[in-house]
C-alpha cells in the first residue's frame, strides 16, 4: 500500500472522529454558554446586593438623623412653652424652623433611598427568576452533553485505536506533513485529483478546483506523496480515477 493510500485511510478515520467530536463539541459549547450566562446573572445579582446594602445603610442613617432632629425639636418646643420673654421664644422658634428644614432634607433623602431600594429589589427578583429558568436550561444542556458523550464514547475509543494503528504504519516524515495540514485545514487536508479531460490530460485539484499539471497525476500514479501545487493539500486518487490514469499513462 502506498504512503498516500495509508494517509487516506487515516484521513477517513480522522474525519469520522472529527464528525463525532463536532456533535459533542456543539453540546459542550451550548452547556458552556448556559454556565457563562448563569455566572453573569450571579455577578449582576452580587453587584445589586452590594448596592442594596449601601442604600439600606444610607436610608437607615437618614432616618436616624431625622428622628434625632425630631427629638431635638420636641425638646425645643417644651422650652418655647416655658420661655419667659418674647426674645427667648423667637430664638427658640428660629432654631426649631432651622431644624425642621434639616429634618425635611433627611426625610427626602431617606425616601429617595427607599425608592431606589424598591427598584433594586424588583431587579433582584427578576434576576432570581432568570437564574431559575437558566438553571433549568443548563440542567437539560448538561444531560444532553452527557448523553452525547455516552453515545459516542465506544465508537470514539474504537476509532482512536484504529487511528493509532494506521498512524503507526505511516512513515514519520509523511505523518508530520499530514498532521500539520490536518491542524491547518481540517477536512480539506486531503483532496482527490479529478479528471477533466482524459484525452487532453487535463486534471484539477478537488480542493482548490484549479488545474494541475500532468506531472502531478504521474506522481500520484507512481504512488508518491504529492501535494497540490495550488493550495498545498495532499492529493489522492479514487479507485475510478486511478484506473483511468493507469490506463492513460500505459497508452502513452
- Decide: helix, strand or coil at residue 191: strand
* Same structural domain, 158 and 111: yes
Q: What is the pLDDT of residues 117-169, one digit of tens each?
A: 999 999 999 999 999 999 999 999 999 999 989 988 889 899 999 999 999 99
Q: What is the pLDDT of residues 211-229, one digit of tens each?
A: 999 999 999 999 899 999 9
* Same structural domain, 144 and 201: no
CA 109, distance to chain mean position in Å, is: 43
DSSP, res 5: H
* Same structural domain, 138 and 190: no
How many domains is the chain partitioned into structurally? 2
* Same structural domain, 112 and 191: no
The domain in which residue 101 lies consists of 3-168
Q: What is the pTM of this model?
A: 0.64
Asked whether residue 245 is domain-assigned, the answer is yes
* Same structural domain, 120 and 49: yes
Q: Which residues pair with 190 in a beta bridge?
A: 234
Asked whether residue 177 is domain-assigned, the answer is no
> Which pLDDT score, from 0 to 100, does residue 42 have?
96
Residue whose C-alpha cell is 474504537: 158
Domain containing residue 93: CATH number: 1.10.287.1490
Asked whether residue 179 is domain-assigned, the answer is no
Q: Residues of the chain whose pLDDT is less than 70?
A: 249-252
In this structure, are residues 17 and 180 in contact, taking their beta carbons and an 8 Å threshold? no
Amino acid at each position: 500500500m502506498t504512503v498516500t493510500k495509508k494517509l487516506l485511510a487515516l484521513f477517513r478515520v480522522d474525519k469520522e472522529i472529527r464528525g463525532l467530536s463536532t456533535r459533542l463539541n456543539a453540546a459542550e459549547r451550548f452547556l458552556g454558554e448556559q454556565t457563562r450566562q448563569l455566572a453573569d446573572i450571579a455577578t449582576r445579582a452580587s453587584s445589586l446586593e452590594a448596592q442594596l446594602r449601601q442604600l439600606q445603610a444610607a436610608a437607615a442613617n437618614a432616618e436616624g438623623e431625622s428622628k434625632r432632629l425630631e427629638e431635638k425639636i420636641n425638646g425645643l418646643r417644651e422650652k418655647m412653652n416655658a420661655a419667659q420673654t418674647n426674645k427667648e421664644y423667637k430664638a427658640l422658634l428660629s432654631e426649631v424652623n432651622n431644624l425642621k428644614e434639616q429634618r425635611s432634607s433627611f426625610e427626602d433623602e431617606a425616601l429617595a433611598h427607599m425608592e431606589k431600594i424598591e427598584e433594586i429589589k424588583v431587579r433582584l427578583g427578576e434576576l432570581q427568576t432568570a437564574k431559575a429558568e437558566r438553571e433549568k436550561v443548563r440542567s437539560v444542556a448538561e444531560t444532553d452533553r452527557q448523553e452525547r458523550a455516552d453515545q459516542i464514547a465506544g465508537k470514539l475509543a474504537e476509532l482512536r485505536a484504529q487511528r493509532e494503528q494506521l498512524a503507526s504504519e505511516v512513515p514519520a516524515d509523511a505523518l508530520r506533513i499530514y498532521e500539520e495540514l490536518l491542524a491547518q485545514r481540517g477536512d480539506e487536508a486531503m483532496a482527490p485529483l479529478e479528471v477533466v479531460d482524459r484525452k487532453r490530460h487535463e486534471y484539477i485539484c478537488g480542493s482548490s478546483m484549479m488545474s494541475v499539471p500532468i506531472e502531478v497525476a504521474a506522481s500520484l500514479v507512481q504512488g508518491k506523496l504529492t501535494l497540490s501545487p495550488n493550495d498545498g493539500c495532499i492529493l489522492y486518487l479514487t479507485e475510478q480515477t486511478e484506473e483511468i490514469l493507469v490506463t492513460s499513462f500505459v497508452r502513452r
